[in-house]
Amino acid sequence: MKILVLNSGSSSLKYQLFDMPNEHALCSGLVDRIGLEQSTITHKTFIDDTETKHEIVIAIPDHESALIKVTELLRDAFMGVISENGEIEAIGHRVVHGGEEFASTTLITDEVKAKIKALFTLAPLHNPPNHLGITVAERIFPNAKQVAVFDTAFHQTMPPLAYRFAIPKTMYTDLGIRAYGFHGTSHQYVSKKANEYLNNPKAKIITIHLGNGCSMTAIDSGKSMDTSMGLGPMGGLVMGTRAGDIDPSIIFHLIKERNYQPQEVNDLLNKKSGLLGLSGLSDMRDVKKAITEGNPDAKLAYELYAYRIQKYIGAFSAVLKGLDAIVFTAGVGENDADMREAVCKDMDFFGIQLDVPLNRRDSKNIREINLPNSKVKVLVIPTNEELEIGQQTFELIKI
């Protein structure tokens, strides 16, 4: 069974085609800068264990044009992997926010689409392009089953103690204001891999997803018990441009005393804060380069980023009432040995003891980077959200 996985962003479209159930990726790609004069397409095929990469610069005015171009590439005589659209039996869509409506992977109907649309206010940057991707895919692949996989679904196992805020109850019952959590597909994927590696389905694990967006999740026996992001994906850890946790009084001080408009505050905390706000640089690689050049702001940004992670390790260890492993994943988590070392520094009292030379070794596989006598395992597990979406889509429709 061939399953296409789509991740529609505001100006991009990520895709991957899997042959299930053997989980073989046939191709993957990214359409970027949709709506601009020069869009870019990176298309990779994986045939007979050989990767072939193709890069195209072309005008892509909208998401429908993007998906049409993707289907042309999938069927292309030289770089294609299928002969006709009908070979694709299902399409798994990443949808960022499922609210309390969706606690699991769901077959898309008109009613489901309407509910996703109703959640636009909770995820205004993410759900609209996700919804658009579904609508376009239905037109281009009318015979394929459309499936929604929600970033928030994995966190629906959190207890009220974790997801409720100490504000009037009507804010929750009438407006749905609570912690939902994000990056759930990634946290679910790497925690399953960790349980398999540890040979312990009941393991207590903290997963640490570090990219441009960052989040952590406390997981007990495969279930999310608490997570660092809340109503939206702005809280918790320091991120590329997002502030993470702040004192709410800052918002009212800016509005009342400094005449900021609400949208200005939103832009400040969402797009101008985090690493960017602290150092003027949003990419961790640029921050590290600036540190070597003696930039004190970059050094503070790097250390604060690590400090916040350590703080959550302490909090989530208390939530789990024990800890078997911590898992680093995503772009920074998988590739930045310095950051992993900074996070694990002086954490011996938690039972976390890093093997520094082992941490420095590059690998694309699951690996253990702790000392042999470390009570807590320190794992690096590459995430694969697209594969997780493909797996969940297959499990839903295989019957």
Q: How far apart are CA 386 and CA 391, in angstroms?
A: 9
DSSP at 313: H
Q: How far apart are CA 96 and CA 101, in angstroms?
A: 13
Give the residue among 310, 231, 313, 308 at the shortest CA–CA distance from 273: 308
CB 394 within 8 A of CB 89: no
Q: Which of 19, 62, 110, 151 is catalytic?
A: 151
Q: Which single residue is written with the structure tokens 């006598």?
A: 373
Q: How far apart are the first and last CA of the chain?
A: 12
Q: How far apart are CA 380 and CA 273, in angstroms?
A: 27
Tell me which H or E stretch contains 45: strand 39-47
Give the residue among 327, 338, 231, 246 at the shortest CA–CA distance from 292: 338
Q: H-type helices in the chain, by residue range?
A: 63-75, 110-118, 127-140, 160-163, 169-173, 184-198, 249-257, 262-271, 274-279, 284-292, 296-320, 330-335, 337-344, 356-360, 385-397
Q: Which pair of structure tokens corresponds to residue 218?
A: 């406390």
Q: Which pair of structure tokens corresponds to residue 50?
A: 């050989």
| 151 annotated active-site | yes
CB 239 within 8 A of CB 229: no
The residues that are catalytic are 151
